[in-house]
Structure 1
Amino acid sequence: MAGKTFRFGVVAAAQEGGAKWRETARRAEDLGYSTLLSPDNLHLPTPTAALAVAAAVTTELRVGTFVYASPLRTPRAAAWEAHSLSVLTDRRFEMGIGTGLPAMREAAAELGLPYGNGAERLTQVSDTISHLRRLDGDAHTPVMIAAGGPKARQLAGERADIVTLAGSVLASRADTAQYAAEIRAAAGGREVELAMNIFVVGEEIPPWIRGFIGHDIETLVEHDSLTLLRGGPASMAEELQRRREELGVSYYSVNGAFLEDFAPVVARLSGR
């Protein structure tokens, strides 16, 4: 299938202070990454502040949330933050949003907000987009939805500009192709950019990533996990080209731990 041109993002947190964060932003831009993406977590600096700083020390790098957890803000507050970032970064901001991991239940409680059930959290995602569109007026802040389940994929296809396939770490290629097809069907004739997050680049999983995904490298290899990318730059590039052809995925993000390791692939494929 025909795909969009490749672009690449790096997911990192401003947890080591301002100087290190500014260095990360500049380095990501120098290496040719399209976006610097910040997670949403009460134990880290707020992505709103982090991304504003990153945009201020770069000229072309785009910035984005990866992703706002809908239970941690009211839809109007989330849209306010997103629109403000879009304006102050001269439209270099992309709002990523999703319903949040189960761990967000405790975070929402700490903020005095309801966690809600799945349908309610998905409604919050939709309402946030509606508020953002009203605030944007004639402008258009790109919206990414991290879509795991069928209802999220339906909403993402209908309303998002970018959809990150956020299913199981061990989802097969066939299942992932089906998820992508559902999103395209929901989009109708509207153009949607499909994205995927690569958790592991190479042969080793950093401990914190191992704890997050709950699987070792052997299990990822055994299941041909699409969250794993192995081999040298040429073979990695070939694999991503295969995925674009088979799945239509053209936008890939990697963890900040792999910023340098993945850079040769970015150099080979970015904009192609």
Structure 2
Amino acid sequence: MGDRRFRFAVMAAYARDGAAWAAQARRAEELGYATLLTPDTSGTAMPAAVLAAAAGATTTLRVGTFVLSVATRPAHMIAWEAASMAFATGDRFELGIGAGRPGGEADAELFGVPYPAAAERIARVEQVIDAVANPPEGLYGGSGLRPRVLVAASRPRMLALAARRADTVAFGVPPLTDDARLAEFVGVVREAAGERLDEVELCTQVHVVGDEVPEWLGRQMNVEPGAMAAAGAIAQLSGTPRQMADTLARRRDELGVSYVSVSSAFAEQFAPVLELLAGQ
């Protein structure tokens, strides 16, 4: 696996109002984060709207979906959105897509669209990648910019597809996943990527920074107090900033993981770690 420089993202879903959202984006940029990411759920704002606002409030910060559900949109509609976002943000948009998520059926019902079977959703992920790379004639392509494509995956078939086709593979793994289990996921990607392995960026998520998991977050992730620390979960970083930085550096050197997203709740707390690893 080739040499990789770290990139860090903030995962943000909520703000009090538009002004607070813009301020959150500017603060992420000030702290040195490369990207601001937002989810795609019926309980959060439409990704295109808030990401365009974030890009408009900043100058270098990239923005991306994490992740857009292919289950609720046709492939060419997603390609249209991606091209429009690349144009509107000055080529700072990254398209993150996934085949679905727990609770995705409820969103589909709310939007009045059918929820495809798993095989169809996986096929649609590949259709989206094709449509983004080669938009059909007549589809708005803005200035011809083609955004990076991130695919979130956890099962072997999706991991293999992502390894073959995506720019970034994001491991959508359970919250108690440890380094040994992560290595197994990386192994699937390595095998499937073949000669393009050095072109593929690998991404993991940090949900907790520090020794304690907030009660609200434990409920949200459905984990018992202390369970993440006991499991050595990759989703929690503990210790001093230097120790956290060393953990991420080791994970990159051993497994190739160089893109790390951090929950916005811990963006400030993680900033000293980011500073230690900036440019590496």
Question: In which range does the TM-score fall when normalised by the shorter chain?
Answer: over 0.9
Alignment of 1:1-272 (within 5 A): 3-135=3-135, 139-190=145-196, 191-272=199-280
- CA RMSD in angstroms comes to 1.6
TM-score (ref. length: structure 1): 0.95
Question: Structure 1: where are the runs of 5+ without partners?
Answer: none
Q: Which moved more, 1:144-153 or 1:216-225?
A: 216-225
3-state SS of paired residue (1:116): coil
How far the C-alpha of 1:212 sits from its partner, in A, is: 2.9
Give the partner amino acid of 2:188: E
CA deviation profile, 1:74-127 (whole Å, cap 9, x unmatched): 211111111110111111110011122121101011111121222111112111
Q: Which moved more, 1:231-240 or 1:75-84?
A: 75-84
How far the C-alpha of 1:154 sits from its partner, in A, is: 0.7
Distance 1:70 1:206, change over 3 A: farther
How far the C-alpha of 1:245 sits from its partner, in A, is: 1.3
How far the C-alpha of 1:171 sits from its partner, in A, is: 2.4
Give the partner amino acid of 1:117: A
Q: Percent identity?
A: 43
Give the partner amino acid of 2:134: R
Matches of 2:276 and 2:40, distance apart in 1: 30
Matches of 2:248 and 2:33, distance apart in 1: 15
8 Å contact kept, 1:3–1:244: no
Give the partner amino acid of 1:184: R
How far the C-alpha of 1:207 sits from its partner, in A, is: 3.9
CA deviation profile, 1:200-246 (whole Å, cap 9, x unmatched): 11122234432232113411111111111011111100110111111
CA deviation profile, 1:171-220 (whole Å, cap 9, x unmatched): 23222112112112212221100000111111222344322321134111
Matches of 1:177 and 1:249, distance apart in 2: 10
Matches of 1:116 and 1:47, distance apart in 2: 22
Matches of 1:208 and 1:146, distance apart in 2: 25
3-state SS of paired residue (1:143): strand
3-state SS of paired residue (1:225): coil
Matches of 1:236 and 1:221, distance apart in 2: 13
Aligned length: 272
3-state SS of paired residue (1:130): helix
Give the partner amino acid of 1:27: R
3-state SS of paired residue (1:262): helix
Matches of 1:205 and 1:81, distance apart in 2: 36
